[in-house]
Amino acid sequence: MAPPPPPPLPELMEELIEEILLRLPPSDPASLVRAALVSAPWCRIVSGAAFRCRFRAFHGTAPLLGFLCDPMMVQHDLWDGVLVPTSSAFRPREPFACRRPLDARHGRVLFQERSSNYRLHVWDPITDAWITLPEMLDDYPDIDCWTAAVLCAAAATGECDHLDCHDEPFTVVVVGSDQNEEEMFSYVYSSESGRWSEPTYAVCPNDFISWWDRSVLMGNALYFKFYMNNRILKYDLGTREMTMMDLPRYEENDNDPSSSVHNIQLMTTEGGRRLGFVRLEQSRLCLWSRDDEADVGWALNRVIELEKLLPFDRSLPWCTFLLGFAEGVGVIFMCVVDGVFTVDLKSSKVMKVHEGSINTVVPYMSFRTPGTDLGTMTIFFK
């Protein structure tokens, strides 16, 4: 007589299943979708609001899901923003016709419209919702002399952890200078009021804000880079005060293209607690940070030798420049010849993420889990 069949394996407790699913990588949202397709109980766990909240809290930092860029074009008047996925969060989509990406933060992306120099749009990639902002008031700034940032409205008070605020009130900050580079100005848009503030002003340091370099958020302040000199602008979100800060100088050399101030990217260090910047010096990435509490100013903390990570030769620095920095995840974007590479500051891992030359990079970081929007379950498999 044949032995009786073995008893069925006991089902895992839902609490244990949830603990396992919590550890799936947030940089691969499709893994959660696949888990949700295993069974109805798994789908109920993964798509539940409680799991989404725990998942974000467990991982803490929103992952890099992709970046938006403004490809270099022969015809300068064509602005077609492109979304480049770096994870399973997005499928390739058509370019954003005549809309140039300016900034992305806290789950939102800010675009400037080509047909109107002063028309801005905010896009939520999770829900695919668009909000068109009213034009700025009074004296419109010149197009070459201003830039903008988008962020959660609670950033000024620190009352939000920014793990899931993509559908909460937001703020857009515009800073720039007049055409004579004599006066700085700022405007603030509030999604709660639906209006722009009156402008505030400050003395301009005979330069203009770099429109293709993104700002950096640290504490309750935004930091913007100037185009030509070694100064940065600090914008206080609470008081709307604008002040100037000096960067440590680097001797310019006509034979060294990396000595240009353009090869500087602002960044944050130590989990966003300190302001920093990265400078490309020949084939080295030099990472600096600022310690105001210890009153030591700027200090060089680390040097990354790119020759050990990339196939550098003597001519390569002439066609290499920095493109951007992904806040929170510690990833630097740089253009090398005709490709875009990322450098992970934690692991020193280098990846090629795009083929071709581009002007700007706007990294997009967010959590994306099943149940966040109606189309999530079909995005990856349709």
Q: Which CATH number does the domain housing residue 189 bear?
A: 2.120.10.80
361 and 217 in a single domain? The answer is yes
Which amino acid makes up residue 99?
R
143 and 195 in a single domain? The answer is yes
For 221-234, the pLDDT digits (tens) are 999 998 877 889 99
Cβ partners under 8 Å of residue 142, min gap 6: 176, 178, 179
Tell me what pLDDT residue 110 has.
96
Domain end residue (candidates: 34, 54, 74)? 54
Residue 79 inside a domain? The answer is: yes
Q: How far apart are CA 142 and CA 365, in angstroms?
A: 30
Please give the residue range of the domain that contains residue 211. Answer: 61-365
Residue 103 inside a domain? The answer is: yes
Q: Which of 170, 166, 149 is nearest to 101 (CA)?
A: 149
Residues of the chain with pLDDT under 50: 9, 74-77, 143, 254, 257-259, 374-382
Tell me what pLDDT residue 379 has.
39
For 116-166, the pLDDT digits (tens) are 767 899 999 888 899 999 987 655 555 457 899 999 999 888 788 888 888
Tell me what pLDDT residue 118 has.
75
Domain count, the chain: 2
Q: How far apart are CA 85 and CA 65, in angstroms?
A: 6
Q: Which of 58, 60, 50 is nearest to 14 (CA)?
A: 50
46 and 84 in a single domain? The answer is no
223 and 87 in a single domain? The answer is yes
24 and 169 in a single domain? The answer is no
For 10-33, the pLDDT digits (tens) are 566 788 889 999 999 999 999 999
256 and 126 in a single domain? The answer is yes
User: Long-range contacts of range 255-264, CB-CB < 8 Å, 24 or more positions apart?
Assistant: 256/281, 256/282, 256/317, 257/317, 257/318, 258/282, 258/317, 258/320, 261/226, 261/227, 261/228, 261/229, 261/230, 262/210, 262/227, 262/321, 263/321, 263/322, 264/225, 264/322
Residue 374 inside a domain? The answer is: no
Tell me what pLDDT residue 56 has.
93
Tell me what pLDDT residue 55 has.
94
> For the packed helices 49-59 and 14-22, what is the interaxial angle rounded to 10 degrees?
40
Say which DSSP state 253 is in: B
147 and 223 in a single domain? The answer is yes
152 and 209 in a single domain? The answer is yes
Residue 377 inside a domain? The answer is: no
134 and 48 in a single domain? The answer is no
Say which DSSP state 87 is in: S
Distances (CA, A) of 21 to 30, 67, 84, 163, 363: 12, 26, 27, 18, 26
35 and 82 in a single domain? The answer is no
| Assigned token pair, 27 | 């940089």
43 and 101 in a single domain? The answer is no
Residue 109 inside a domain? The answer is: yes
The residues pairing with 235 across neighbouring beta strands, listed in sequence order, are 222, 242
18 and 104 in a single domain? The answer is no
* Cα 159 from chain centre: 21
The residues pairing with 355 across neighbouring beta strands, listed in sequence order, are 339
Residue 349 inside a domain? The answer is: yes
The enclosing H or E element of 380 equals none
